[in-house]
Chain A
Amino acid sequence: MPRFVLPVTLVLAVAIAGVVLTEHGRTEGPEGAVLRIVRPVQSAVSDGATPVGHFFRSLFRAYSLDSENERLEQRIGELQSQIVHVSEVEAENERLRALLGYTESNPGWTYLPATVIGRDPSNLVQSISIDRGTNDGVREGMVVVASGGLVGKVTRALPTVSKVLLITDTSSAVNAMIERSRAKGIVRGGVSAGLTMDYVGRAQEVAPGDIVLSSGLGGGFPKGILIGQVRSSAGDDLDMFQQLDLESAVRFQILEEVLVITNFEPTELE
């Protein structure tokens, strides 16, 4: 026991001296001298130790990073699908706004909105299927329009689905007129989904860009629905009629929503 007395007393004495000296601000000199020596070493050790520390920390965090990465990837996937959904909704909103605009600018008719759910599987027939049928009040012969203009006519109405023959089908014929000159003719579908206007008198004045509307003659279609614009005129000067090549007002290849006019009664002329 007595052999510990001296070292303990010494340690305590040094410690108390240090405390007393620190209290009186007398340690700055030796402390500064020691730190001047220690600092570079400390710094070098510290610099070397930092990456090692990071490495070990990374090792410890690897598992949590992995799961965080997985979580973030999942979140990115969710956000990407949300972006696609939002842009899809935006596009749909734009199309529906255009349809609404059409109904507002043509208020005389009652419209039933419908979605295009299919196209004719045959290359020889231009028709579409819509998601409205007799249960919704759709009847054969009803006229179908889109925000651009005339689409076609219902040829088959089933309880929940209807088939619409497009005006671009070769068997379709619409009585039409040039808006500016009131020249009459018949708009027919072409094989490559184009439109032509036949039986326009040679004397009638027609220019590219002229608007073509349904004339209402024959009673199959209401008067004044936009069909398209004149692109060019063909035929010899000696011909009795000129044939006009039309640019359709409706983009049939990307048609997604249409309106069925439910209060127009077509007249079938025998």
Chain B
Amino acid sequence: MRYYLFIPALFVLAVLQSSALSWLLPFPVRPDLMLLAVLSWGMIAGAHQALLWGLVGGLMVDLLSGAPLGLTIIALVPVALTALVREYSVLESNILAVLLGAFIGSVLFYLASMIVLQSTGTRVPWGETFLHVLLPAAVVNSALVPVAYIALRSLGERLWPEQLIAVRED
């Protein structure tokens, strides 16, 4: 039962992303809290868990967004799969894997979002979006991912230790 606490936690995160964060950081590009949560949890508990978080978190973000419903869920799928970088031990260093994962995950997240937006008839200026949104967001997310990773790991050890043990046994 305690495992399902992640649902209200993701809801709080989505609300923060759409309210407090935009007032606290009134910049054109803000960190993507849901992306950071999904990616960090993926690095901690594996891609399967991250996919579940991406489904729930993406739905919550989409409900609060003016973008088509499903856009964030789709965009979070490659982010969740980025956790495979860690699962297959592509990199020895944990923190390097997390940083690289955040950068690659952010790029994939925005590329997927842009493709979905374009396919739903929204005008997407690719070059401009790449330079002024995708790259800055990838840098901001990479800079913040260590904080999210450490916070989620400590939270996970307290709230969902069984999930972490299962991953370690795999």
Which residues of chain B in 4-24 are interfacial with respect to chain A, using CB atoms and an 8 Å cutoff?
14, 17-19, 22
Q: CB within 8 A of A125: which of B26, B65, B121, B137?
A: B65
A190 CA to B28 CA, complexed, in Å: 11
Question: Which residues on the A side are within 8 Å of B32 (C-beta)?
Answer: 121, 123
A156–B66 contact, CB under 8 A? yes
Query: When A191-B128, A192-B28, A192-B132 are in contact, do A122 and B65 touch as well, CB less than 8 Å?
Result: yes
Q: Which of A125, A191, A253, A254 contacts B125 (CB 8 A)?
A: A191
A216-257: contact bitstring with B at CB < 8 Å (1 yes, 0 no)? Answer: 000000000000000000000000000000000000011000
Q: Which of B80-88, B97-105, B110-118, B160-168 lines the interface with chain A?
A: B110-118
Are B117 and A124 in contact, with the CB atoms below 8 A?
yes
**Chain B interface residue count: which class?**
20 to 34
Please classify how large the interface on chain A is, using the bins under 10, 10 to 19, 20 to 34, 35 or more.
20 to 34
Does any Cβ of B come within 8 Å of A258's Cβ? no
Does B52 have its Cβ within 8 Å of any Cβ on chain A? no
Question: Which residues on the B side are within 8 Å of A121 (C-beta)?
Answer: 14, 17-18, 32, 34, 61, 64-65, 72
Query: Once the chains bind, are B28 and A193 in contact (CB under 8 Å)?
Result: yes
CB–CB A119/B133 < 8 A: no
Whether the pair B124, A119 counts as a contact (CB closer than 8 A) is: no
- Which of the 9-residue segments A53-61, A75-83, A163-171, A205-213 touches chain B? A163-171
Contact between chains at B30 and A129 (CB < 8 Å): no
A120 close to chain B: CB less than 8 A: yes
Q: Mark B131-142, 1 if CB is under 8 A from A, else 0.
A: 011000100000
For residue B122, CB closer than 8 A to chain A, the reply is yes
- Contacts A170-B125, A192-B132: A118 and B26 contacting too (C-beta < 8 A)? no
What are 8 of the A-B contact pairs (CB < 8 Å)? Answer: A122-B72, A123-B28, A123-B110, A170-B124, A171-B117, A190-B128, A192-B132, A253-B26
Closest 6 CB pairs of A and B: A127-B66, A119-B22, A121-B17, A253-B26, A121-B18, A171-B122
B residues bordering A, Cβ < 8 Å? 14, 17-19, 22, 26, 28-30, 32, 34, 61, 64-67, 71-72, 110, 113-114, 117, 121-125, 128-129, 132-133, 137
